Amino acid sequence: MDCKEFRESLDFYADGELAPEAEAAARLHLNECAACRRAEAELLRLRRALKRTVAQHQPPPELVRRVEALIGAHRPHRLWQRRISLPAPVFALLLVATLLVGLGVASLRRAPPGKQSASVQPEQKPPAPAPAPQGNLDLARFDHGERATIYKVRRTQAGDAQ
Amino acid sequence: MWLSRRRRARQFEETALPHLADVYRFARQLADEEQAQDLVQDTYLRAWKYFDSFQAGTNCRAWLFRILHNVWTDRFRQSRLELSLNEQSETAIEPYYDWEDEFMREELSAELEQALAQLPEAYRWAVLLADVEELSYQEIAQVMDCPIGTVMSRINRGRRTLARLLRATEQSEPQAEHKRSS
Ligand SMILES: [Zn+2]
């Protein structure tokens, strides 16, 4: 392939439209000829510049919206459908979890009436020290500084009384 | 019916809508902003209407550009007629470019856009479809509804004419500057 032949097929070469044998011949000529390499480089530069030039325009957002609405007009509840259809497994899991939590709460609420107060007020909490019947208290011990003992006794007695 | 319509819409959304920016940018090289928006909207309206005729797995961009070409032809039929007339005299491949060494500076988007605007529309279509959209000659022939030989000569002539226009723009730089600012 000589320069004239190469230049005649330069566009097709650059566009990848040459048959394999012709492309191989063109590549061979390019390896040998600096002038044709420059010609090819210029063509590729023109291509890059064209891409850059065309790429500087952006479609206005309202155009994008208008075109989307055009399709949306034929398809009601577009957003709703989309949100359901995309995360279906996640949605199902959330639904099941919500149901389980709901059932749990409901079963607690429906517990036997006797235990109801117990579940609301923890048993560990000591009842507020109520004034015990005077007669059950050994005031002498209290005088000797045995506060704890007195209190314990009073608690046991209160428990027995119930 | 509701389901199939819904699926159709989703397919359209996945295959056709992502090319909207490309179609708009291309249209912008054919018309001003307002007209380009109309071209794109009409193109997508038609694409949506005839979406069933699109064969899944084929090049959706090429299909959209074909519709754009139809829409554009319908709208600008007059300038198309003018063009086909002066094209008849140009069919042979022109082997040499007008450039010797670097005919282009790196940053010349403004000059290039100006040169593109002066390029005959059939050449502009062919060159942009090949260089920017990177469609095959076969696809370009389908988009422009013409034989492959015509595509080849349009690309070849188009690039050379563009190079010539660019050189002319660069040589009359001050004038071009004035033109742009006014
Ligand atoms: Zn050579």
Mean pLDDT, chain B cut into blocks of 10 residues (182 residues total): 74 93 96 95 95 90 96 76 50 58 60 91 96 97 95 93 83 51 40
Is the pTM here over 0.90, yes or no? Answer: no
Interface test with B, best of A10, A33, A52, A63 (most B CBs within 10 A): A63
Of B68, B63, B74, B75, nearest to B26 by C-alpha is: B68
- CB contacts, 8 Å: A66 with chain B: 41
- Tokens 């389901």 belong to which residue? B3
Whether ipTM tops 0.90, in short, is no
Q: Could you tell me if A10 and A33 are in contact, meaning their C-beta atoms sit under 8 angstroms apart?
A: no
Looking at residue B166, what is its pLDDT?
85
- CB contacts, 8 Å: B13 with chain A: 71
- CB contacts, 8 Å: A7 with chain B: 95-97
Interface test with A, best of B132, B133, B151, B166 (most A CBs within 10 A): B132
Of B6, B15, B29, B10, nearest to B124 by C-alpha is: B29
Between chains, do A70 and B44 touch, taking CB under 8 Å as contact? Answer: yes
Encode burial over A123-149: b for 16+ CB neighbours within 10 A, e otherwise. Answer: eeeeeeeeebeeeeeeeeeeeeeeeee
Looking at residue A77, what is its pLDDT?
47
Q: Could you tell me if A77 and A47 are in contact, meaning their C-beta atoms sit under 8 angstroms apart?
A: no
Between chains, do B48 and A74 touch, taking CB under 8 Å as contact? Answer: yes
Looking at residue A155, what is its pLDDT?
42
- Nearest residue of chain A to residue B29 (CA atoms): A54
Of A4, A51, A70, the CB nearest to B132: A51
- CB contacts, 8 Å: A45 with chain B: 102, 104
Domains and their CATH numbers in chain B:
1-79+99-107 (1.10.1740.10), 109-182 (1.10.10.10)
Angle at B140 between CA A11 and CA B138, to 5 degrees: 80
Looking at residue A9, what is its pLDDT?
92
> What does the pLDDT average to over A76-87?
48
Domains of chain A, residue spans: 3-56
Of B12, B33, B132, the CB nearest to A54: B132
Looking at residue A88, what is its pLDDT?
64
Give the pLDDT band (50/70/90) at residue A23. Answer: very high
3-state class (DSSP) for residue B73: helix
Of B134, B168, B126, B157, nearest to A48 by C-alpha is: B134
Q: Looking at residue A74, what DSSP letter applies?
A: T
Residue B84 CA, distance from chain mean position: 16
A98/chain B closest Cα distance in angstroms: 29
Q: What percent of chain A has pLDDT over 90?
A: 39
> What does the pLDDT average to over A121-130?
48
Looking at residue B6, what is its pLDDT?
81
Biggest CA–CA distance in chain A, Å, is 128
Alpha-carbon distance B164 to B145, whole Å?
Answer: 27
- Please state, in angstroms and as integers, the Cα–Cα distance from residue B170 to each residue in B111, B121, B137, B164, following that order: 7, 22, 31, 10
Query: Sign of the C-alpha dihedral, residues B104, B128, B27, B116?
Result: positive
pLDDT at A125 over 90: no
